[in-house]
């Protein structure tokens, strides 16, 4: 599994016009090719009367999957510029459909490349770019007198807190980057004088904005 990658937060769209042709760029996260194809088919159905429904997606799992379609536009003038927009923004696990309603004026090859690339970029920006970080979910149980030390340690590291439960003791669940999980468990043991229970549970991706804050 990748330790970190950039993608889009949610589905969004943007509209761009060039010489009376209307371009509607719709962007969506897609972690599998099936998700990407389902998204593309839904857009094709929604915009069934459009001149073209150009698409591209870029997915990295066990293998790199990248696909694009010009959907009747001259070869290389539509799907490839959309794919290049995805890569320019350094995105993975994302799909883009750019729908065109022809305005009656031919744009030429260079104009098409520019319009499709610009439309895709506007859609990506509207969808909000985020980082996915692979973290270990760590559960810590500690007595109330030592909870302040644990809070200070977590705060100093900047780790995301999933939840806190107050019972006979305090149970804190946090997300720690996978490469730091082992050393952090040692730091907890040291900070609490070995008077705590630390369990590394499982791995999960968390979503951060580009400033590193939990989304």
Q: What is the pTM of this model?
A: 0.85
Are 215 and 209 a contacting pair, CB within 8 Å?
yes
Match 């107050």 to its residue by tokens: 166
Question: Torsions phi, psi of 169, nearest 5?
Answer: -125, 180
For the chain, how are helix, strand and coil distributed in percent, rounded to 5?
A: 35, 40, 25
What does each C-alpha distance from 143 to 31, 147, 195, 199, 200 come to in angstroms? 40, 6, 8, 15, 19
Taking the C-alpha atoms of residue 99 and residue 50, their distance in angstroms, rounded to an integer, is 7
Can you tell me the distance from the alpha carbon of 25 to that of 90, in angstroms, rounded to the nearest whole number?
18
pLDDT by 10s per residue, the chain, length 215: 788 999 999 999 999 999 999 999 999 999 999 999 999 999 999 999 999 999 999 999 888 999 999 999 999 999 999 999 999 999 999 999 999 999 999 999 999 999 999 999 999 999 989 999 999 999 999 999 999 999 999 989 889 898 999 999 999 999 999 999 989 999 999 989 899 999 999 999 999 988 878 88
All domains of the chain in start order, with CATH: 4-127 (3.30.230.30), 131-208 (3.30.70.240)
């Amino acid at each position: 599994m990748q330790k970190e990658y950039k993608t889009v937060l949610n589905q969004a769209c943007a509209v761009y016009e060039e010489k009376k042709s209307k371009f509607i760029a719709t962007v969506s996260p897609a972690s599998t090719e099936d998700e990407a194809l389902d998204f593309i088919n839904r857009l094709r159905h929604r915009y069934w009367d459009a001149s073209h429904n150009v698409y591209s997606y870029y997915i990295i799992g066990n293998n790199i999957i990248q696909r694009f379609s010009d959907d009747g536009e001259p070869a290389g003038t539509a799907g490839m510029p959309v794919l290049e927009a995805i890569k320019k923004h350094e995105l993975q696990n994302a799909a883009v459909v750019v729908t065109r309603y022809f305005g009656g004026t031919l744009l030429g090859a260079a104009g098409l490349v520019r319009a499709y690339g610009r439309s895709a970029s506007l859609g990506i920006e509207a969808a909000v770019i985020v980082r996915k970080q692979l973290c270990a979910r760590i559960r810590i149980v500690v007595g109330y007198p030592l909870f302040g030390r644990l809070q200070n340690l977590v705060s100093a590291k900047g780790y995301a807190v999933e939840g806190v439960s107050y019972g006979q003791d305090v149970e804190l669940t946090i997300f720690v980057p996978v490469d730091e999980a082992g050393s952090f468990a040692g730091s907890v043991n040291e900070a609490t004088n070995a008077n705590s229970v630390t369990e590394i549970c499982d791995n999960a991706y968390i979503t951060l904005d580009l400033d590193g804050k939990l989304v």
